[in-house]
């Protein structure tokens, strides 16, 4: 049995996940659109930001505790909504939600999850979690989905606004991505090399999009579900729809997918409680800038009128600290927890959170700060200069 305490870097979890997860689902998580330039920039741009090391300061009694939407968190990190999480590991959304609950950080369930809203609520004893919503053409389905989220004790709704149409992701097309996998010769040969994944998947009935299956009239089998999903993302989404969802939901609303200061102002005007600076992990507009490069100007544009978060390229606790210094109240992580999940299930997600927390704590101390609430651009070499 692997001693997870000896795994000290997210990259190690990534290598193990690559061996254990079927190719189409690993590639789904670990890829971007077109040339993947934006996907790579999300990560590499963090490396351009240099930290200011301080010495001979009291480093005792450190705290990474903060709040996101007024909710206490063990560190300013939440698990991002990721589609098909339950295909990285059987019951993946349930396992990730349990790990997040135990660690003290928020978990976000995707509309395109394998485990349903109700599955996650039941498995976590109705512990509050967040739910990510895509706007579909079928507004009746959206209304029912919002009502189900309310009934499941969801405490905040994340509305994704950057997926009105789907970016071209070459690996998904080549792999013939589907949930569950289609029984082609190539897929069967690949699955034969993943016995652990197959065994775990045989133990669960959750193998398709359970937020949708059984909740849409006329969708009675997998082929009809796939066809319905493919034509449902609404290219006509506009800020009027955002305001309608805010009224219909009535609770905390987060706008995910902001990459422009003007759109950030629209998010404020819509009545949202937080926005997420995000390019969808580099999976939509290839050639767009990295999320971290746009964070400072967006944070400046909205000031304290709305909480500003970011995602995209966060792979370490140092990245969390840099984002905080450049104006983010919190960050969301997707791929790091998916690597942990694919490698070791719930224990792997917990280990990913432990790694990021330790890196955050130690780096904060080396920068001369003992409380995450005091972190600002002063921890960066030359402050908030133009790093990009």
134 annotated ligand binder: yes
334 annotated ligand binder: yes
* Rounded-to-integer distance, Cα 343 and Cα 357, Å: 19
234 annotated ligand binder: no
Beta-sheet pairing, 108-109 with 129-133: parallel
Alpha helix locations (H) across 128-285? 139-151, 170-175, 185-191, 195-202, 222-230, 239-249, 261-269
226 annotated ligand binder: no
39 annotated ligand binder: no
* Rounded-to-integer distance, Cα 249 and Cα 255, Å: 13
235 annotated ligand binder: no
378 annotated ligand binder: no
Which of the following is catalytic: 9, 89, 170, 280?
280
Beta strands across the sheet bearing 274-277 = 77-79, 330-333, 307-311, 274-277, 252-258, 154-160, 129-133, 108-109
* Rounded-to-integer distance, Cα 92 and Cα 79, Å: 12
283 annotated ligand binder: yes
184 annotated ligand binder: no
For residue 170, the SS3 value is helix
E strand or H helix at 157? strand 154-160
256 annotated ligand binder: yes
160 annotated ligand binder: yes
* Rounded-to-integer distance, Cα 288 and Cα 38, Å: 6
Does 280 qualify as catalytic in the annotation? Answer: yes
Question: Which residues are annotated binding-site positions?
Answer: 28, 81-83, 110, 132, 134, 160, 169, 256, 278, 280, 283, 311-315, 334-335
Q: Please list the active-site residues.
A: 280
């Amino acid at each position: 049995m692997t001693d997870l305490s000896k795994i000290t870097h997210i990259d190690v979890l990534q290598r193990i996940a690559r061996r254990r997860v079927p190719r189409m689902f690993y590639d789904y998580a670990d890829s971007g659109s077109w040339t993947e330039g934006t996907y790579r920039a999300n990560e590499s741009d963090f490396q351009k930001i240099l930290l200011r090391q301080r010495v001979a300061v009291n480093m005792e009694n450190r705290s990474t505790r903060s709040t996101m939407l007024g909710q206490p968190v063990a560190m300013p990190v939440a698990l991002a909504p990721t589609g098909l999480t339950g295909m990285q590991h059987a019951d993946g959304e349930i396992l990730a939600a349990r790990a997040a609950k135990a660690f003290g950080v928020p978990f976000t369930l995707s509309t395109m999850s394998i485990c349903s809203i109700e599955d996650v609520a039941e498995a976590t004893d109705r512990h509050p979690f967040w739910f990510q919503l895509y706007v579909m053409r079928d507004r009746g389905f959206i209304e029912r989905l919002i009502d189900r989220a309310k009934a499941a004790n969801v405490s905040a709704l994340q509305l994704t606004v950057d997926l009105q149409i789907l970016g071209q992701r070459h690996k998904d097309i080549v792999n013939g991505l589907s949930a569950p996998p289609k029984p082609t010769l190539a897929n069967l040969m690949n699955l034969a090399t993943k016995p652990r994944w197959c065994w775990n998947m045989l133990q669960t009935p959750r193998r398709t999009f359970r937020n949708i299956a059984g909740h849409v009239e006329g969708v009675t089998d997998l082929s009809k579900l796939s066809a319905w999903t493919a034509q449902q993302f609404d290219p006509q989404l506009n800020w009027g729809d955002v305001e309608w969802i805010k009224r219909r939901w009535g609770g905390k609303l987060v706008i995910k997918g902001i990459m422009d200061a003007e759109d950030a102002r629209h998010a404020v005007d819509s009545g949202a409680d937080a926005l997420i600076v995000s390019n969808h992990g580099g999976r939509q507009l290839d050639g767009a800038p990295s999320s971290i490069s746009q964070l400072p100007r967006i944070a400046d544009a909205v000031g304290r009128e709305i909480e500003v978060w970011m995602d995209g390229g966060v792979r370490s606790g140092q990245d969390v600290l840099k984002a905080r210094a450049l104006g983010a109240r919190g960050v969301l992580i997707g791929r790091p927890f998916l690597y942990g999940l694919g490698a070791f299930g719930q224990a792997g997600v917990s280990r990913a959170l432990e790694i990021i927390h330790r890196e955050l704590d130690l780096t904060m101390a080396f920068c001369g700060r003992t409380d995450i609430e005091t972190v600002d651009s002063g921890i960066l070499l030359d402050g908030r200069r133009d790093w990009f």
